[in-house]
Structure 1
Amino acid sequence: MSIRFLSVFRRVAPTLLLACAPARAPRSAPVMPPLGQPTVAPLVIAHRGASGHRPEHTLEGYALAVQMGADFIEPDLVSTKDGVLVARHENEIGGTTDVAAKFASRKTRKVVDGDTISGWFTEDFTLAELRTLRAKERLPFRSHAYDGQYAVPTFVEVLALADSLGRRRGRAVGVYPETKHPTYFRSIGLPIEDPLLRALRTHGLDRADAPVFIQSFESGNLRVLSTQTRVRLIQLVSSAPQVTPAALRDIATYAYGVGANTRQIVGEDSAAVPTSLIADAHAAGLRVHAWTLRPEPVFLAKRYRGDPIAEVRELVRLGVDGLFGDYPDQVVTGLRK
């Protein structure tokens, strides 16, 4: 087979596989609720794809998540040396690809956002070099049956896949990109925001009602993005000072919602009463998307006694607007009960 054929086949294979599988009945929740109107049911956001079932951030993992009923797929975005956005959770890719075996001599040490990290970094590789790599499961206690099979996708490929899958099921597949280390990437001359917005505009997605959220832990780049795009922005929060009523009102000046750790919503295992985060955010006019639902004992709070569906039900009862899950099929099951 020619190299061109292999390249095309890799891009369309997830769609072909999905087309051969029985389609799930569509959920009633809208992919993108209109401004000023409540969400009918929480959005199901496939965290890094169906990352509990397949290596994270692969086209195959994203396609499986959609088959399972996810409303949104989440690509974390980092840059290559030649300025192409690819889907990886971090720019250090030693734990998620076979880069160590193929480029052993390229290992280095860098300071990224104040942390000293040793490994292999996307910004040191061209897209052509990254194309030679294959993804692998990051966590030792999850299946490694699919290691070495799937390529590292570009953001443009993720958008094309979402469009294709959405057309097939007759309802848009949302895309929920996160800008990873945007200040760091801008400091080395590889800004993430510019190619991100170009790709969205090319696909007709730079609009307020597009099935897209852009998220970031950094507030500076979101404030700038709020002046450059109509796409809805999500401020990721991870500390108590970020979710005070005053802080939430400030976030509402540039963002549509917040992405909060589940522990910030339900409290730690020792807490008997959930926090007021959802009520405070809603009072400020913000939506709340909770991350990340994972069933393994190392992640699942003890309050749920080993039942991940109980976690879904509690968050729904508290009024959450979206749920990030590594196993989107479990989140969908929890919403149907």
Structure 2
Amino acid sequence: MLFDLPPDDVLYAALIARDAGYDGRAWVGVTTTGIFCRPSCPARKPKPENCKWFDAAGDCIAAGFRPCKRCKPLHDMADPSVADLLTALEADPEHRWSEGDVIARGFDPSTVRRAFKRAFGMTFLDLARQRRLALGFTELSAGRVVDAQVAAGFESASAFRRAFTRWLGIRPGDLPATSLLRATWITTPLGDMVAVADQHSLHLLEFTDRKALPTELKKLHARHPVSIGYFDIFDQLKSELDDFFAGCSATFTIPLTYHGTPFTQTVWDALRKIPAGRTQSYTNIAQTIDRPTATRAVARANGANQIAILIPCHRIIGADGSLTGYGGGLWRKDRLIAVEKSYADKDRP
């Protein structure tokens, strides 16, 4: 089970002892270097506060860590195509990967597609595009569209604009230099996210591969122009997300600004009252807000949520206990519920 890890102090002791018994069961990402390693890595040991622990090498990649060149944490992955392609991607993250490249490395594209879907919930080409776009996003925040195009590995400025529009719904040339709302890129163990905020509150937080993201950004941009940049409030968001995934706290205190009808906002408030580690159904929420016959409307409001994780629509499951639809993908919903199980365990006597 993902995220089923021993306490951090146990893992850190294993790291200090270079305990190979934890190899393949846990990986450590070092925040000061951006590298992830096996517990048995012979490299100099980081301080405990600079360690982030993962139960899958893919989560390290998704969180932005690079594999260590000394302990080679990808070397013994079960599928050789996954290890080979991840290593190649790390060596040249700006390359515009295609199925032809996969074939040229001796792998069948359909087999690779299934292997990456199992390991990371996305295809290798999707992962490569995210890496390129993340590089371009950083450059774009400084207002350098041409540099962004180059950093993202696209062949032309127009190609980058098309990709940016496809993923985020906003053309770089249309973005103001500064505005009330600013967008930034955030990495999490479940993949990259886009956050939009003003100086005082968060307006949007979505996974970059969510199909509704372009539409949501266009709607925000129509109300208040969105520029790419940074506010101090993003530091708080990153810190609270880090604590959440580390199993330290499921409490988010960052202020939120809703963009929805009064009914939709009522549903979102009800979602935020579901304790971490617990789940409810659409029917439960409808009864909670005294609208017992509005189950379908509750489902629509749940699907319209554009602040993932903080408004925990992932805590809604079917009345029969099955996972229901989730805009970020059912694999992420399953992992979020697994993350929160530890919080439920803490609440039990």
What is the TM-score normalised by the length of structure 2? 0.30
- Structure of greater relative contact order (alpha carbons < 8 Å, 6+ residues apart): 1
Q: Higher strand proportion, which one?
A: 1
What is the TM-score normalised by the length of structure 1? 0.30
Rg bigger for which structure? 2
